[in-house]
């Protein structure tokens, strides 16, 4: 084999590995908050709260998975609901909570995958955010 052929093979295998090694998706969900006075947040990981003019709460979950092909991320999104947020009506408040609160390390073909999850919640402007960022109350 010539040096040029070896370089092409290495480039091909490197590009193929890089293309399969990283997957990312952005997931959106909306939650009705009409008539709700208080919302408790029980979400896994770091959450950025952003006031907006909308009448609903909208979540934007950005997921990046390195070390596994796209079908692995798709499996964790669709089958395991690893990044899903659900709304639960409590006795006198509404709870937004992560369906999966444990999130063990993802391993693909004996390799640990790097996972990065960022959640942004767009909160209607008529809600105040508590100092700890865990409770939202409708402004009086």
**More confident position, 78 or 46:** 78
31 within domain boundaries: yes
In a domain, 93, yes or no: yes
Q: Which residues span the domain enclosing 132? A: 22-138
Q: Give the mean pLDDT of 101-114.
A: 94
Which pLDDT score, from 0 to 100, does residue 91 have?
A: 81
For residue 58, is pLDDT > 80? yes
For residue range 48-57, list pLDDT tens digits in order: 999 999 999 9
Q: What is the tally of structural domains in the chain?
A: 1
For residues 6-16, one letter each, b for 16 or more C-beta atoms within 10 angstroms of the residue's C-beta and e for the rest, the string is eeeeeeeeeee
pLDDT band at 18 (very low <50, low <70, confident <90, very high): very low
């Amino acid at each position: 084999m010539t040096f040029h052929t070896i370089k092409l093979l290495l480039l091909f295998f490197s590009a193929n590995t890089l293309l399969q090694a990283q997957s990312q998706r952005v997931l959106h969900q909306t939650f009705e908050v009409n008539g709700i006075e208080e919302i408790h947040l029980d979400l896994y990981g770091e959450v950025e709260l952003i006031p907006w003019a909308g009448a609903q709460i909208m979540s934007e979950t950005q997921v990046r998975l390195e070390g596994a092909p796209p079908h692995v991320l798709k499996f964790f999104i669709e089958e395991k609901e690893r990044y899903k947020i659900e709304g639960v009506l409590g006795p006198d408040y509404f709870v937004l909570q992560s369906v999966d609160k444990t999130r063990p390390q993802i391993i693909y073909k004996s390799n640990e995958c790097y996972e990065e999850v960022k959640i942004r919640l767009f909160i209607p402007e008529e809600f105040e955010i508590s100092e700890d960022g865990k409770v939202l109350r409708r402004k009086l």
